Structure 1
Amino acid sequence: MTSPHDNFALWCSQELARVEDALTLWIAADAPANLGEPMRYAVLDGGKRLRPLLVLAAAQAAGSLAAGPAEAALRAGCAVELIHAYSLVHDDMPCMDDDVLRRGKPTVHVQFGQAQALLAGDALQALAFELLVPEGSAIPDAVQARLCRQLALAAGYNGMAGGQAIDLASVGKQLSREQLQQMHKLKTGALLQASVEMGATCAGIQGAALVALQQYGAALGLAFQVIDDVLDVVADSATLGKTAGKDADHGKPTYVSLMGLQAARDYAHELLAEAQQALAGSGLPQTAALAALADMVVRRSH
């Protein structure tokens, strides 16, 4: 008999393969002046693909998908991943976090130079929105437009970019718990929550079920950042695939610096319980993958 854990592992394997195949196809290798090389380097062969998996799991939560919604979910998942990848390319540059290691390999600006890294990030951002509006598709125009709006809101000044601005402005400062939570709600949580909401949009999920998924996404997004702060303290660079301890070195406020290590861990588990409770009250028939993804976020080691 196959256990729920085995089912999730199989689901993950199948969906990750679809995402990797699509990203490999859609990120052009033949861009002008070899720009495709740093674009592909930034995205392929690395990363947990949590955001695409959240899109796909949310889209499937109400049941099996027809061809149009299934295509929309795959495109939306890849689009979110491209936004995430572009943000990492830019965040790692000397003008921001000045990091040399990402996903276990040199950062894009170290490998290709700052100008190519900047352009690769720009191109990945534009490609994300191009994926959401394919020509000759079975995806309704209204769905395409809504997906673009959701992703733009999550990535812009009231989302990821705004959160990064707060982060840079907070170096060396003591933030309250509310201020820290707001920063991470924007910087990290907005894109994770948007992943869930975009999946719901693809499947036409509305009403109380949508509200429950939004609550799940908000709790998950915050839990992800709390665990990130914990791992920055307890894990090494080889395990993380990025430079460990850099938040403390740069004087950045974190949940660990504010609450202490054990209290931060406990808070992450409280948020996990919130996410699972929201799913349980959603009324959706197929939330096992979403539940397992939340559990994976909190129990991860890198």
Structure 2
Amino acid sequence: MILRDVLRAGAGEMRAAGIEDAMRDSRRLMAGALGVEAGRLTLMERDEVAPVAVAVFHDAVRQRCDGVPVSHILGWREFYGRRFEVTGDVLDPRPETEGLIAEALREPFGKVLDLGTGTGCILLTLLAEKPGAKGVGSDLSPGALAVAGRNARALGVGARCDLIESDWFSAVGGLFDLIVSNPPYIAAEEMAGLAPELAHEPRMALTDEADGLSAYRMIAAGAGAHLSPQGRLLVEIGWQQGAIVSQIFSDAGFAEVAVLPDLDGRDRVVSGRWNGAKKS
């Protein structure tokens, strides 16, 4: 079978199943089946595809039609130019989170703490970008910590990070120049309206089973005890949470509180600097 025809057939099957960007997904799945970069497929469109690769591709298409995310079918997702393993134990790295990375890298840091590390994409990217830095990643899920550990080793930063099982700060010790987190921020009442693909990600990484703000309250309340003087706290937020999370930071004693937009202009990151003086 000719590659171009197989791609079109796969895209048509996914489109009929209601998958958006079906051709993009078709190309990504075919690249995975062939073991090549997706960009190479344009040069291969008139080539014949081996039957075994066609069978792998069709199986992947069936999974995608059932709502399985492409990243879970392939077993990885790219983030900040690096490949991260993903499984059902972790939240997929998302492009929006790259804004948090960019903001964190605006100032030097020697030690960083990532709360709810998941794949480790935030922590490990920061360590990869700052070769002299060390870090700690905490998570309540042993499965997530196992994934983060494999990613740390694959990226060559395993010797510079500790991965610990912890309920936020419960098992964390020491001071850090930077604390980062992409906590669960979806309110429980909003979960039913989410995209079907999110059913394949851990619920505890998506929602706090409350108003979507409880993690920010806990992080802001505990961060001061773990930040060096003038240390920074950066968290990802839902696009409608900028004002209220900023107030949570201010009430906890953070200065220079700011809301930063993503590339679409929506509120995405709240930052604050620890001045050691909680409001009375």
What TM-score results when the alignment is normalised by the length of structure 2? 0.31
What TM-score results when the alignment is normalised by the length of structure 1? 0.29
Higher strand share: 2
Higher helix share: 1
Task: Specify which structure has the bigger relative contact order, considering alpha-carbon pairs within 8 angstroms and separated by 6 or more residues.
Answer: 1
Larger radius of gyration: 2
